[in-house]
Amino acid sequence: MAHSPKRKLFLDLVRAIFRINGLLLADGDRMAEGVGLTSARWKVIGIIALSNAGVTVPGIARALGQSRQAVQRITDVMQTDGLVSYATNPRHKRSVLVQLTDQGQQVYHALRTVQDPWAIGLTDDVPVDELESALRLLQRLIFRMEKP
């Protein structure tokens, strides 16, 4: 069976995503280390910070494509460290909301002072339409892969 050009391009894209994922994790660990975190905790803090009134553990897990159990372990440690708190969820009795504490907000802002220049430096010469196109493609693939 001959390999189609589209199939090869898609597999090249998959390999590039694997590679950039590793690079993002390494850069994330390096940047987060300055405030005593790992990139795993940084990702969780980012999801919580971008929510207005808190987010559930399953919501964080969905956003990150991770298991609920893995996120629960991270948020439990972050609660012990004083970075997050659990609050009653008016929409769901058993699924509490995870919110940043004042200390968690401070850590998030410290991370942003490192992350923002990094992001700007990586994308300074990349046209906005290329970033938008890449984002749309990845979102479309995510949607297709998450469909039951």
pLDDT attached to residue 112? 93
Q: Whole-angstrom Cα distance, residue 138 to residue 6?
A: 16
CB 41 within 8 A of CB 35: no
Give the pair of three-digit tokens for residue 7: 């199939």
Query: Which domains does the chain possess?
Result: 31-123 (1.10.10.10)
| Residue 85: count of CB within 10 angstroms of its CB | 18
Q: What is the pLDDT of residue 92?
A: 80
Whether the pTM exceeds 0.85: the reply is no
State the residue for tokens 């994330």. Answer: 28
User: In the chain, what is the greatest distance between 2 CA atoms, to the nearest angstrom?
Assistant: 59
Could you read off the pLDDT of 63-101 as tens digits, one per residue? 999 999 999 999 999 999 999 999 988 888 788 999 999
56 strand-pairing partners: 97
pLDDT tens track of the chain, all 148 residues? 567 899 999 999 999 999 999 999 999 999 999 888 988 899 999 999 999 778 999 999 999 999 999 999 999 999 999 999 999 888 887 889 999 999 999 999 999 999 999 999 999 999 999 999 999 999 999 999 988 7
